[in-house]
């Protein structure tokens, strides 16, 4: 399917699996793609061999996709795509020298909350670039890079305060294998995409402990209730969490063998410590740092998040997973409130 809009000069900041997969999708729609990576050897491999064995092995990257490790090469960008882990976004944005950047569309595909500031990516972007909130879009939903790069049917959602800009992103990215819906609930999409990674680590712990389907079903259901509760407290639309950026993303991340966050939890359930797990991973599992941010964000807004609190205790206070589960199961009985 060809693009329904003009051909854009798109700069993708981050050559991880997702950034690479999106470069391939945009190329299918006739856009000019330049992908930036911190790792010089990754840029060289993309340019010379048209592969990315470090972050997305087993696929051939179109020859027209150009890679660089120099941020100055992105100066003529018309659309900026942020595809790097949340902790690095502020630093990279400060280093950009893109002409008239504050008036350009910035699309984020990262899922996390900044530590200490507790800012969502939309808030980081407007803080650093002084852009209008209407120029920020988030693309999120159940979308493993491995599957998108192989053109397996995927549906996601683009969220922007200005629905016209969300529709523009829809037109730029949408193909016959990559379907995009639109919404104006940026807050809901950011909270859903971020916190589902925390619940996915918990799901992995359940897998590692071999506790079964009942336990995981309870976790996903009550985890979604906690995500919704915090989102609504911040100003999100509760219905957003029943959609692709909420339930959809939560389901796939909690159950898929491709999920890095679920993998982290599984390793914890098998008895490994978090430092060893992270040391042996090439890519970042955003749920680890998001757990800490979500814990303090909940405190700030006085929202009760029992599962996320226990995940914070497991990851940062060395609490035993079985003890955390026992404490969750023996909490005071209550009526089932959704948020």
Please state, as a whole number, how many other Cβ atoms lie within 10 Å of the Cβ of residue 14. Answer: 25
| Residue 90: count of CB within 10 angstroms of its CB | 16
Residue corresponding to tokens 């999100």 = 236
Q: At what angle do helices 321-329 and 186-209 cross, to 10 degrees?
A: 110
Read off the tokens for 165. 């800009």
Q: What's the full length of the chain, in residues?
A: 339
**Interstrand relation of 136-140 and 154-159 (parallel, antiparallel or unpaired):** antiparallel
Q: How far is CA 243 from the centre of its chain?
A: 15
Give the tokens for residue 52.
Answer: 């990315």
The burial class, CB within 10 Å (0-12 / 13-18 / 19+), for 58 is: exposed
Residues 6+ apart with CB under 8 A from 109: 18, 19, 22, 81, 82, 83, 138, 139, 140
Active site residues: 196
Beta strands in the chain (DSSP E): 9-13, 32-36, 66-68, 79-82, 105-108, 136-140, 154-159, 178-183
- How far is Cα 216 from Cα 87, in angstroms, rounded to an integer? 29
Q: From the CA atom positions of the chain, what is the Rg in Å?
A: 19
Q: Which two tokens stand for residue 170?
A: 């829809």
């Amino acid at each position: 399917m060809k693009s329904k809009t003009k051909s854009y000069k798109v700069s993708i900041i981050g050559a991880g699996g997702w950034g690479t997969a999106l470069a391939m999708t945009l190329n299918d729609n006739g856009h000019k793609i330049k992908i930036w990576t911190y790792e010089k050897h990754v840029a060289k491999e993309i340019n010379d061999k048209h592969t990315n064995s470090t972050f997305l092995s087993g696929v051939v990257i179109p020859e027209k996709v150009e890679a660089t490790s120099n941020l100055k090469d992105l100066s003529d960008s018309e659309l900026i795509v942020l595809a790097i882990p949340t902790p690095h976004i502020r630093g990279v944005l400060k280093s950009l020298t893109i002409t008239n950047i504050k008036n350009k569309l910035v699309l984020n595909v990262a899922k996390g909350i900044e530590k200490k500031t507790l800012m969502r990516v939309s808030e980081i972007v407007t803080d650093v670039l002084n852009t209008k909130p209407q120029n920020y879009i988030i693309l999120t939903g159940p979308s493993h890079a491995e599957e998108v790069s192989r053109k397996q049917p995927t549906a996601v959602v683009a969220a922007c305060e200005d629905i016209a800009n969300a529709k523009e992103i829809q037109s730029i990215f949408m193909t016959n294998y990559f379907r995009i819906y639109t919404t104006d609930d940026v807050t809901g999409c950011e909270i859903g995409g971020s916190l589902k990674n925390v619940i996915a680590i918990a799901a992995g712990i359940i897998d590692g402990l071999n506790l079964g389907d009942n336990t995981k079903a309870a976790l996903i259901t009550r985890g979604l209730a906690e995500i919704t509760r915090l989102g609504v407290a911040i100003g999100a639309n509760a219905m957003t969490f029943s959609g692709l950026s909420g339930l959809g993303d939560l389901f796939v991340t909690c159950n898929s063998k491709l999920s890095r966050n679920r993998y982290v939890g599984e390793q914890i359930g098998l008895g490994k410590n978090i430092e060893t797990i992270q040391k042996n991973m090439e890519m970042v599992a955003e749920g680890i740092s998001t757990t800490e941010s979500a814990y303090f964000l909940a405190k700030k807004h006085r929202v009760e998040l029992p599962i996320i609190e226990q995940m914070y205790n497991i990851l940062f206070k060395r609490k035993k997973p079985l003890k955390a589960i026992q404490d969750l199961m023996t909490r005071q009985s209550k009526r089932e409130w959704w948020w």
